[in-house]
Amino acid sequence: MKTNKIFMFLAIMLFASCQHARFHVTGHITDATDTTLYLEHITLGDGIQTVDSVRLDKTGEFHLSGDTQKNPEFYRLRIGNQSINLAFDSTETVNVEASLKNMSFGYKVEGSGTCDTIRLLCLKLAELERAVRATAENRDFTLQERDTMIERLIHAYKTEVKLNFIQNHYDATSSYFACFQMLNGLLLFDPIRDKSDLTWLRAVANAWNEKYPGQPRSENLKNIAAEGRRNQAKPKEIVLDYDNEKVRELGIIDMTMPDINGKERTLSSLRGNVILLDFTAFALPGNQERTMRLRELYNKYHSQGFEIYQVSLDEDYHFWAQRSELLPWVCVFCEEGLQSDMVTLYRVDRVPTYFLIDRNCDLQARQEDIPNLGKAIEALL
């Protein structure tokens, strides 16, 4: 009998050891009766995946959980377009209290210093977004003056984050999070063209590689830092060498390539819209500013039937994935890069190069023939 009890005890212990360790998120979201609260994993390269969910009642009480990973991972609580950023690296329990009316920025979090630091970073980013928006809309200054003022706001923000959040905390989960904060869909830290950003990101990459060797997020940081070192020594413009005999005027040439979620996206599927076909490389200097200009055009004309089909010719897939994850338009990755047949067939001799396609899917103009892109789009809508 005693032997059987020992055997059962060992079996139970073995079973328990085989189970995944789990983290838990508890709390209340008030003013959210009959809404669904999602716990989502913000993965590296596989998009956003639902981990757990619950239908809230009038109390707003919830208890969600997920499996811990080998290194810290990032998650969010989401209802509609309101979300709360979190991170977990152990079997901790975090308590979140919020109202749906101001869920993204008015929440409180207990049980995790990391999650509270991420909360502070998100609040500061929201303040920066408001300041940038107010500056961009201030017509008392010229466009160039506004651009300069916005650059100063961003520089001041990054300096504060570097000194008050990242310095002496290079291996912290919140430092990784800070390196990938975005403003208007663009990464604030740009190791490709900013040597200071590269220095700080390399410090975080080295610390993560030492603390979490061989893990995907450590490798991601290491690859981005390596890409930054390579590209800062490269020319600012990519020039292609192509065979003129292969170049033909074919109107629209259809193509199908995968987006960040691995879904095959076909150019002609956007027929019926005015399409900006954009060949680019996210690693190029100045890409963030260019993406911001495209976002302004997209926001202005999308509701009228304007779409963007953006083809990345980057060498580093993971770098592209980080840069493109939150873009609102179709962005696909061209594995062949500069050697792609599409580059030749569209006579792309410089990157970036864009084309305008009308609602009938006919090619109307290319970059050098368009003096004002906004007016050219309006003429086709």
Q: At residue 19, does pLDDT exceed 90?
A: no
Assign domain 238-380 one CATH number from 3.30.70.380, 3.50.50.100, 3.40.30.10, 3.40.50.1100: 3.40.30.10
Instruction: Give residue 4's pLDDT.
Output: 54
pLDDT in tens, 274-315: 999 999 998 888 888 889 999 999 999 999 999 999 999 988
Q: Mean pLDDT, to the nearest integer, of 28-46?
A: 92
For residue 136, CA distances in Å to 69, 130, 183, 373 come to 41, 10, 13, 20
Instruction: Give residue 286's pLDDT.
Output: 82
Within 10 angstroms of residue 80's Cβ, the number of other Cβ atoms is 11
Check residue 296 and give left, alpha or beta (phi > 0: left; psi -120 to 50: alpha). Answer: alpha
Computed over every residue of the chain, the mean pLDDT equals 85
Instruction: Give residue 319's pLDDT.
Output: 84
* Cα–chain center distance at 301: 22
The neighbouring-strand residues paired with 311 are 279, 332
Instruction: Give residue 332's pLDDT.
Output: 93
Instruction: Give residue 8's pLDDT.
Output: 52
Instruction: Give residue 14's pLDDT.
Output: 43
The conformation of residue 329, written as its DSSP 8-state character, comes to S
Q: Determine the topology of domain 20-111 in CATH.
A: Immunoglobulin-like (2.60.40)
Percent of the chain whose pLDDT exceeds 90: 46
Check residue 287 and give left, alpha or beta (phi > 0: left; psi -120 to 50: alpha). Answer: alpha
Q: What gap in Å lies between CA 359 and CA 305, rounded to an integer? A: 9
Instruction: Give residue 288's pLDDT.
Output: 84
Counting other chains too, the contacts that 56-61 makes at CB distance below 8 Å and 24 or more residues apart are 56/29, 56/32, 57/33, 58/33, 59/28, 60/28, 60/29, 60/30, 60/31, 60/32, 60/33, 61/27, 61/28
Contact by Cβ (8 Å): 75, 42 = yes
Write down the residue that tokens 């055997």 correspond to: 7
Contact by Cβ (8 Å): 250, 353 = no
Least confident of 35-39, 329-333, 340-344, 355-359: 340-344
Single-letter amino acid code for the residue at 60: G
Q: Mean pLDDT, to the nearest integer, of 243-251?
A: 40
Q: Mean pLDDT, to the nearest integer, of 228-241?
A: 56
Instruction: Give residue 65's pLDDT.
Output: 93
Write down the residue that tokens 């809508």 correspond to: 381
Contact by Cβ (8 Å): 342, 248 = no
Tokens at residue 363, please?
A: 């090619």
Q: What gap in Å lies between CA 125 and CA 106, rounded to an integer? A: 14
Q: Name the pTM for this structure.
A: 0.59
Domain coordinates in residue numbering, the chain: 20-111, 124-231, 238-380
Instruction: Give residue 239's pLDDT.
Output: 47
- Candidates 248, 326, 328, 296; CA nearest to 147 is 296
Contact by Cβ (8 Å): 355, 346 = yes
Instruction: Give residue 20's pLDDT.
Output: 64
For residue 247, report the phi and psi dihedrals to the nearest 5 degrees: -85, 125
The conformation of residue 301, written as its DSSP 8-state character, comes to H
Least confident of 115-129, 250-264, 296-310: 250-264
pLDDT in tens, 158-211: 999 998 999 889 999 999 999 999 887 778 888 877 888 888 888 899 889 889
pLDDT in tens, 60-118: 999 999 998 888 999 999 999 899 999 998 778 999 999 999 999 899 999 999 999 99
